[in-house]
Amino acid sequence: MNANKLKALKKALIISGISVLFLNLIPNAHADEKEITVVNKESTVLNFRSLPVMSDKYRKLENISSEYAVLLDEETNTVLAGKGALRRVYPASLTKVLTLITALDFVEKTDIQGQLSDGELSELYAREASLAGFAAGEKVPFKELLYGLILPSGADGAVGIEKVVGGNKENFSVLMNLEAAKMGLFDSRFRESSGLHNKNNYSTALDIAIIFGYALDNKTGREVLGTAYHKTGNTEQHPEGLEMWSHTFAYMEGVDMGGFKITAGKTGYTGEAKVCMVTEAEKDGHKYILVTLFAPNSRQMCEDHINIYKEYAKS
């Protein structure tokens, strides 16, 4: 990393109130010739949250299919229940929640557009990534990239965000790890904005829950994560817009939740991470965050969310 890039990253760290010693916690934080984009502002979009503490009524999650899980009470900022919540595992597309909040934190202006090349899309096809459907050369507004990232879990949205915010993949990876460090998360490392498998892209159920909470604190973050359906504006490649549906809301629609209502969420899957999901649910004005990881299939993952909320999220 040359002097100018180091200066830019140090500036971001100082703005965020974080020591440059955190650079040592970012693995292989090398960038190419393009500068890291940072926001010149007094504070970031992150509203400081204390790390959650274990509830005095903490319970171990039992009789669930997911290998790892954690349930947080948002109102008291406590961990109500868990199963392997501190184990480092692959988070698949739950990574995109951090991509979302990193983009919102570091983008210089939101009236920008991203574009993907044929080569970038071809690489995503080759990796069998899920896609929002953006076309090569299509000028996609920043906010549409966010919706494409979250609702259909589009890796094309992730690549577009990398380019407009960080300039390239390596720079954006540095910013993602900076964002995690700002949250106080040191059991997570991120190298893939899309969450595609990478042995150096890992997190924990607890860290994912904390990241999700930060994303929900942001107005745009909550809007995107809480949207079931979105249609983009017209472009030359999509004159009638591009329709997008949230996987989370599609899975949980019409399900008997025992009075709980899903208000936001994100799903994920890779062969190595299996099936995972993070949701926020509300009942009687009380909000909870639940993360489940490494479920055998989507049906069992959804059953875990239903049963955990009903059994363990009791006000």
**CATH code where residue 233 lies:** 3.40.710.10
Structure confidence by residue, pLDDT tens digits, 3-46: 444 445 545 554 444 433 344 444 343 333 334 334 433 345 66
Given a cut of 80, is residue 55 above it in pLDDT? yes
- What does the alpha-carbon distance between residue 201 and residue 190 come to, in Å, rounded to a whole number? 4
38 within domain boundaries: no
31 within domain boundaries: no
15 within domain boundaries: no
Question: Does this model's pTM top 0.85?
Answer: yes
Structure confidence by residue, pLDDT tens digits, 219-253: 999 999 999 999 999 999 999 999 999 999 999 99
20 within domain boundaries: no
Structural domains counted in the chain: 1
Reported confidence tier of residue 50, pLDDT bands at 50, 70, 90: confident
Q: Are 288 and 309 in contact (CB under 8 A)?
A: yes
DSSP helix/strand/coil, 29 = coil
Identify the domain containing residue 127 by its residue range. Answer: 54-312
Structure confidence by residue, pLDDT tens digits, 162-208: 999 999 999 999 999 999 999 999 999 999 999 999 999 999 999 99
Radius of gyration of the chain, Cα coordinates, nearest whole angstrom: 19
92 within domain boundaries: yes
Q: How far is CA 273 from the centre of its chain?
A: 15
- List b or e across 244-281, with b for residues whose CB sees 16 or more CB atoms inside 10 angstroms: bebbbbebbeeeeeeebebbbbbbbbbeebbbbbbbbb
Structure confidence by residue, pLDDT tens digits, 286-298: 999 999 999 999 9
108 within domain boundaries: yes
22 within domain boundaries: no
47 within domain boundaries: no
Instruction: Using alpha carbons, select from 251, 290, 298 the residue that is nearest to residue 65.
Output: 298
